[in-house]
Structure formats: C-alpha cells, structure tokens
C-alpha cells in the first residue's frame, strides 16, 4: 500500500474516532440534562395535579367520593391521571391497568417518586402520590425530549461525517503536496544508481523533506566529484604508465644493445668506453627517474603535511647550497633577492620544490647568466633569463614526463617528472604554481601562497 494512502486512512480513522468520541460525550451530557429537565417538568405537573386535587377535595364531605373525584379529573381534562383507593379504580382513562402502573422500579431523585414506562414508540414517566386517603398516578409524555435527542444525534453524525470527508480530502491534498518531493528523490536515486550522477532534486520546502533533498543533492555532488576524480586519476595513471613504459623502453633497449655489443663484438677501446659511458649515464638517469617516480607516488598518497614555520631566508639558503655546484658547471649565478618573512609548510618538501625550479632555471639558462630567488607579498619566485617556454606549452609542462625539448632535456638528465612532483607537493600545501614565460627572454616560476 502506498505511504500516502496509508497516511490518509490512518488520519481519517483517527479523526473519525475523535469526532465520534466528542459526539458521544456531548450527546450524553445533553440527553442527561434534557431528560432531567423533562422529568423535573413532569414532576411539577404532577404536583400541580396534586395541589389542584387537594384544593378541590379539602372541603368535600359527601359519600359520593368516587364520582366526585372522577368528575374533578374529567372536568379538568386530566386524561393521564389515574386515581384508586383500597385497590379500587376511581378514575383511569389510560390504557394501563393498576398492576402495570404499580409494578417496576421507582426512582426518588425528584420530589415525587417516578418510573419510566414505554408504550409503543412513546416514552412515558409515571409519578405517584397519595392524597386524602387515595393514591394517584400521573403519566407524563416525554417522547418529544427523546425525539430531540435523536435528531441532535443524527445531525451530529452527519456533521461529523461531512467534517471527516472534507478533512480527508484536505489531508490527502496536503500529504500529496508534502510527499511529492519524495517522488523526485526516488527518481534522483534511481538515476544515481544507474550511473547518472548529474541528477539534482529541486525542492524548495524548508521542512525535513526539504533538508533530505538538500542532503541528497550534497551526496550526489560528492559522488559526482568523487567519480570525476576517480576517472581523472584513472586517466592520469594510464597516461603515467604509458609515459613511464616509453621512458624506460628507449634507454633499456640501448643499454641492452650496448651490453650485447660489449659481450659479442670485438670493440676498440674508445668504442668500449663510449658504450660503458652510455650504459653508466643511462643507468644513472633511470635511477633518478625511479627515485622521482617513487617520491611522486609517495607524496600523492601521504596527504598529511607537517606544517611548520619556515624562514624564507633559510629555505633559499638551503636551495642555493644544493644547486650551487650544478650552477657553477654552467657559470650561472644564483642570486638571493628579497627574502624576509616566513612560510608555513614542510621544509624538506618545499626544498624539493625550489631545488627543482632552480635546477630547471639553471638548465634553461645560458652560461654566465643568473637565476634569482625572491619573495613577494603573495609568494616565492624563481626567475631566469634563459630560453623560455613557448606559450602553448606552458600549460602542459607540469604533466608527468612532458618535456618541451625532449632530447635536450634528456641530455640534461631530465625525466619530465620534476614539475609534476612540484605540483603535487604544492597541491598538498594548498599553494599554486604560477608560470610566466617568454621564449628567449626567460621564465618566472611562482609558488603562490596567498589566495588571489
């Protein structure tokens, strides 16, 4: 059974039950009062009959008592009064025998004792009293009162039924409106289950269902983001593997070829030296490549960065110290510019970043040129006056294994992993890499620490 139908049925039953219970109590009180009022009026009427009889009979002293009494009641049109004395009926116009009138249970909550009597569809009350040695019954018809109670009961039942029907219609409409977002949510869930993570639910209400819809949208958003990241990561991994395979294949084939030649061919000393030098050079490059690769994967996995306060001056000193011997080989001067202030991050990882940037800057520089390291308000920068990077390649150089000039980079011992490593480290710090470069003029690599 649908939730809406269930809710409508349950609420209708509760409503109907509440209305009927109210009706019952109201009717009970009303009928109680009405019957009491009717009984009190009947009692007063019987007392009137009694007093009228007593004022009539008080001066009587004849021996035709029975005729006088009958005359009195007939004359006064008291058709429902019965009089008897010593078991003999003096006056009785009613359909009831003395026995019928005498028998039954008598109540005494009013001035005169009375009992209830049903005759056909009539509701009667019988009051009894004695006066001047005679006994009397006075019958009062209260059918009217019961009819009023019945008609009130019927009216209330109809009103309750009408109220229930109207309420059921209203409840049904309200529930339909309230639950309609659930249908949208269900459709949204099905879409997500089917792999379409772009589905969102447009629910404006601020009730619990509205907040459920908001939660659903947040969940869909998170799933979509996660799935996008997963597929991007899958793509990255596939590309990385393809590039890695390619990077390994060429030197390994060459190393194997040279090794083969060394074993099988008679080579001159200079050819042997050349072969060994090549094997040595390529082995070292492969060693560097594998180390960078391991570092890259390590950092990408271990997202926890131990943030510490680092003086920029100290960081630049460490970088310059590490890169100075390579700079000397190319007669490139490493210049430390403005370097006040501090930066928050992992010292070793930030050293790796700036060593890579400075190393690249030295590689790109002409002999006798200079490379500057300096700090500005929004970050730290490495500037060279070297060959620069073509505009359309700038966005690609942070991709793993991407090299602008492959053969030149390889000759310089490059692997195309340095900037990929830099990017990953900066990402984990919440920093960004900004590259400005112009061919034959130079490049500035900026680590931006402030959000711009």
- Minimum CB–partner distance for residue 411 and ligand ADP (Å): 10
Report CA torsion sign: 157, 159, 160, 165: positive
Residue 81 or 443: the one with the smaller Cβ distance to ligand ADP is 443
Q: Indicate the helix (H) or strand (E) that contains 23.
A: helix 3-57
- Minimum CB–partner distance for residue 396 and ligand ADP (Å): 9
- Count CA atoms closer than 13 A to 149's CA, side-chain side: 21
Residue 255 or 361: the one with the smaller Cβ distance to ligand ADP is 361
Residue 114 or 431: the one with the smaller Cβ distance to ligand ADP is 431
Classify burial at 109, counting beta carbons within 10 Å of its beta carbon; exposed 0-12, middle 13-18, buried 19 or more: exposed
CB atoms within 10 A of CB 364: 23
Residue 366 or 376: the one with the smaller Cβ distance to ligand ADP is 366
The answer to whether the beta carbons of residues 373 and 319 sit under 8 Å apart is yes
- Minimum CB–partner distance for residue 393 and ligand ADP (Å): 8
Residue 19 or 397: the one with the smaller Cβ distance to ligand ADP is 397
**Cα-trace Rg, the chain:** 55
Dist. CA 391–CA 160, nearest whole Å: 82
- Which residues contribute to the site for ligand ADP (CB under 6 A)? 356, 360-361, 364, 384, 386-389, 397, 402-405, 409, 414-420, 443
Residue 417 or 425: the one with the smaller Cβ distance to ligand ADP is 417
- Minimum CB–partner distance for residue 422 and ligand ADP (Å): 7
Residue 50 or 383: the one with the smaller Cβ distance to ligand ADP is 383
Q: What is the dihedral of CA 93, 95, 101, 107, to 10 degrees?
A: -90
The length of the chain in residues reads 452
Q: Indicate the helix (H) or strand (E) that contains 167.
A: helix 143-193
The answer to whether the beta carbons of residues 375 and 381 sit under 8 Å apart is yes
**370-376/333-336 β-pairing:** parallel
- Minimum CB–partner distance for residue 446 and ligand ADP (Å): 12
Residue 65 or 300: the one with the smaller Cβ distance to ligand ADP is 300
DSSP state of 332: P
Residue 125 or 362: the one with the smaller Cβ distance to ligand ADP is 362
DSSP state of 109: S
- Minimum CB–partner distance for residue 365 and ligand ADP (Å): 8
- Minimum CB–partner distance for residue 433 and ligand ADP (Å): 11
- Minimum CB–partner distance for residue 251 and ligand ADP (Å): 14
Task: Kindly provide the b/e burial profile for residues 162-201, where b requires at least 16 CB atoms within 10 angstroms of the residue's own CB.
Answer: eebeeebeebbeebeeeeebbebbeebeebbeeeebebbb
**114-119/122-131 β-pairing:** antiparallel
- Minimum CB–partner distance for residue 320 and ligand ADP (Å): 16
Dist. CA 403–CA 393, nearest whole Å: 9
CB atoms within 10 A of CB 80: 19
């Amino acid at each position: 059974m649908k939730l809406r139908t269930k809710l409508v049925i349950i609420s209708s039953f509760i409503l109907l039950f509440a209305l009927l219970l109210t009706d019952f109590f109201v009717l009970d009180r009303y009928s109680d009062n009405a019957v009491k009022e009717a009984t009190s009026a009947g009692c007063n009427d019987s007392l009137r009959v009694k007093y009228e009889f007593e004022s009539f009979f008080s001066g009587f002293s004849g021996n035709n008592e029975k005729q006088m009494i009958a005359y009195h009641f007939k004359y006064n049109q008291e058709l429902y009064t019965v009089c008897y004395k010593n078991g003999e009926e003096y006056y009785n116009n009613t359909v009831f025998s003395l026995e019928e009138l005498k028998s039954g249970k008598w109540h005494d909550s009013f001035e005169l004792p009375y009992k209830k009597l049903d005759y056909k569809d009539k509701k009667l009350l019988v009051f009894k009293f004695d006066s001047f040695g005679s006994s009397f019954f006075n019958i009062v018809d209260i059918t009217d009162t019961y009819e009023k109670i019945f008609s009130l009961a019927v009216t209330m039942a109809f009103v309750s039924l009408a109220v229930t029907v109207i309420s059921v219609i209203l409840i049904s409409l309200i529930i339909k409106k309230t639950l309609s977002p659930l249908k949208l949510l269900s459709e949204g869930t099905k879409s997500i289950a089917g792999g379409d993570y772009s589905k969102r639910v447009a629910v404006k209400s601020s009730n619990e269902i509205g907040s459920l819809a908001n939660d659903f949208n947040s969940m869909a958003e998170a799933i979509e983001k996660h799935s996008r990241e997963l597929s991007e990561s899958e793509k990255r991994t596939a590309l990385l593997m393809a590039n890695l395979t390619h990077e390994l294949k060429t030197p390994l084939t060459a190393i194997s070829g040279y090794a083969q030649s060394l074993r099988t061919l008679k080579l001159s000393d200079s050819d042997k030296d050349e072969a060994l030098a090549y094997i040595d050079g390529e082995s070292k490059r492969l060693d560097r490549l594998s180390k960078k690769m391991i570092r890259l994967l390590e950092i990408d996995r271990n997202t926890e960065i131990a943030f510490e306060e680092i003086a920029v001056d100290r960081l630049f000193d460490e970088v310059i110290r590490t890169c100075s011997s390579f700079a000397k080989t190319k007669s490139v001067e490493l210049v430390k510019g403005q370097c006040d202030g501090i930066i928050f991050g992992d010292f070793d990882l930030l050293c790796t970043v700036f060593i890579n940037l400075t190393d690249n800057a030295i590689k790109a520089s002409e002999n006798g040129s200079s490379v500057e390291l300096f700090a500005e308000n929004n970050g730290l920068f490495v500037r060279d006056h070297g060959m620069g990077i073509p505009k359309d390649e700038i966005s690609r150089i942070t991709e793993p294994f991407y090299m602008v000039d492959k053969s030149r980079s390889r000759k310089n011992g490059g692997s195309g992993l340095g900037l990929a490593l830099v990017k990953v480290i900066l990402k984990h710090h919440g920093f960004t890499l900004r590259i400005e470069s112009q061919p034959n003029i130079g490049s500035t690599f900026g680590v931006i620490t402030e959000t711009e």
